[in-house]
Amino acid sequence: MNSQPFNLPGQFFKGNLHTHCSESDGDYSAEEVVKRYRQQGYDFLALSDHFLERYGYPITDTRPYRSNSFTTLIATELHVGKTLNDEIWHILAVGIPLDFDPPQEGEDIVAISTRAANLGAFIGIVHPTWYGLQPEDARILPFAHAIEIYNHGSEVENDRGDGWGLCDVLLNEGHRVFAYATDDAHHMAHDAFGGWIHVKAENLDPESILHALKSGHFYSSQGPHIHNIRIEDNDVVVDCSPASVVIISGRGSRSTKEMGNGLTRARLPLERFRDAHFRITVVDDRNKKAWSNPVWLD
């Protein structure tokens, strides 16, 4: 199985890739936002302020908050041009240089995202449901690493937190995109600590985390843990924290599930997923979910 984190060396680090502070439209200073994530047990954070002229094109410098037990990734949220829906584009770039230049004359979202990617950034298509992003929009960014499949701020503020709709469409078309959950917190209240990723890496430093992100060595969660996903004979075996439902889903409508009380292992038939991809969802008794990245068997 490609790109699954579970049997790789290292350990899981918990982090949030999409957050705002008072460098753009967040309520709190960078220092305060970092402090609160640390207090909640996060291992890393990316502050991704809005890269807009009205905020002075901020790239928030979070290097002072790094330590042996916590790290940060330099990030931004790019906004250039309009989507087909006539909305300003939102694209997450994690792992960019602090001196990333403002949009150049004539640069559209493809060009600026390409510039960020060429400088080493992990590119994420954020909160697609929140602003009605269409597959036709997403297809112009085939180099994007991942789709934001859960945005906690959008979920609690306007019931548009889910991004799997777009992600599944792209997966069905054969795009190999990863899937990540975030907070997109601005207020550090209802919109914080609701969606995150667990990244497998050997070291807690920005380079190791960024490499793991671009390799898909992570899974997303609102609470439950996925301990392992493996192929055993003709089954996919999932080990997880106590769950009510463990779901395998794949191309089109293909899916199957195992239900129970406090399930910590599920055995799901692989047969219908062999020729394309599958992904795993773990749901606990409070309806909190964990999501694997897509798995391609070839």
Which residues is 199 bridged to in the sheet? 13, 218
How far from chain centre, in Å, is Cα 125?
A: 9
* Span interacting with Zn ion, options 87-95, 222-230, 261-269, 277-285, rule CB under 5 A: 87-95
Q: Which residue number has the CB closest to Zn ion?
A: 90
* Span interacting with Zn ion, options 38-46, 85-93, 189-197, 286-294, rule CB under 5 A: 85-93
C-alpha span between 279 and 46 (Å, rounded): 26
Q: List CB contacts of 267: < 8 A, sequence separation 6 or more.
A: 232, 235, 236, 237, 258
For position 79 contacting Zn ion by CB under 5 A, the verdict is no
Tokens encoding 265: 């292992």
For position 152 contacting Zn ion by CB under 5 A, the verdict is no
Q: Are 265 and 230 in contact (CB under 8 A)?
A: no
When computed from its CA atoms, the radius of gyration of the chain, rounded to whole angstroms, is: 18
Longest dimension (CA), the chain: 58
Q: Rounded to the nearest whole angstrom, what is the least distance from the CB of residue 184 to Zn ion in the complex? A: 4
Of 51 and 65, CB closest to Zn ion: 51
Q: Are 268 and 250 in contact (CB under 8 A)?
A: no
* Span interacting with Zn ion, options 110-118, 182-190, 220-228, 230-238, rule CB under 5 A: 182-190
Of 160 and 225, CB closest to Zn ion: 160
Of 90 and 198, CB closest to Zn ion: 90
The number of CA neighbours under 13 Å toward the Cβ of 198 is 20
Tokens encoding 93: 């770039």
Q: Rounded to the nearest whole angstrom, what is the least distance from the CB of residue 131 to Zn ion in the complex? A: 8
The residue from 184, 191, 212, 268 that contacts Zn ion (CB under 5 A) is 184
For position 90 contacting Zn ion by CB under 5 A, the verdict is yes
* Span interacting with Zn ion, options 141-149, 180-188, 230-238, 240-248, rule CB under 5 A: 180-188
Q: Are 95 and 122 in contact (CB under 8 A)?
A: yes
Q: How many residues bind Zn ion (CB under 5 A)?
A: 3
Give the footprint of Zn ion on this chain (CB under 5 A): 77, 90, 184
